[in-house]
Structure 1
Amino acid sequence: MSIDRAYYSSSLSSFLSTSPDSVLGEVARNSGFAIELGQRDAWVKQIKVLREQLMPWASQGHLFFEFVVPRMGRRIDVLVIIKHAVFVIEFKVGESTFTRAALDQVWDYALDLKNFRACPNFCV
């Protein structure tokens, strides 16, 4: 499954077998923006966490880094599809609590995905 609206897109098995530096390089190359150290460090931590947590589903899904929500222009940190479930993941690297604003942000992303089916390759 290839998709143009993400900085990085791959099957979970490919993501897990690709070196973290290669994943980071592709995310950075496709960002189109100057990357500050804080953003780079956040992506490094996200890749590490995802590699640890997604191992049990290696052959069952797909992952998108910095997924641009159709027609909204907003970016979801990570979108993971496992079987028929879509997981919207918003990282808050360095935070120690879940804020209401962060929960609302994920909720809004999920609603955006539910209501906008602009990309036929994404509809599952």
Structure 2
Amino acid sequence: MGLNLGGFGDLKGLIEKAKSPGGLMEIAKSLPLDQLLQKLPLDSLLTPEFMQKYTPFQSIGELLEKAGLGSAGDSAQRIAEVPQDKLDNQVKETTSFGSMQQLLQKAVEYYQSRQPGGK
């Protein structure tokens, strides 16, 4: 019996979808934030390079620290433990993104553009 992940079928199907061109972006646009935080490779997406380019923060840890939701040393995985409404509010108030989901979608786009054969 397969594990159903937001309409993507079993885990194997999700992994295959993520490997396909545009697959991560399709996942980022299709799943709700709580599932994205569990399924996406957050440490690969929310890198210091991405954060410095698209936000006023040096790292995801700094964003969490400024919001009183964590410390500067926190990894991207820490955001999965933060209440979503507080995370969305911090992102909306301090970045050009309207929500954490939008920030993650941009991170996926940026990540894919940096991969061999990416846009």
| Pairwise TM-score range, normalised by the shorter structure | under 0.3
Q: Which of the pair is proportionally richer in helix?
A: 2
Structure ranking higher on relative contact order (CA contacts 8 Å, 6+ apart)? 1
- In the superposition, the TM-score normalised over structure 2's length comes to 0.28
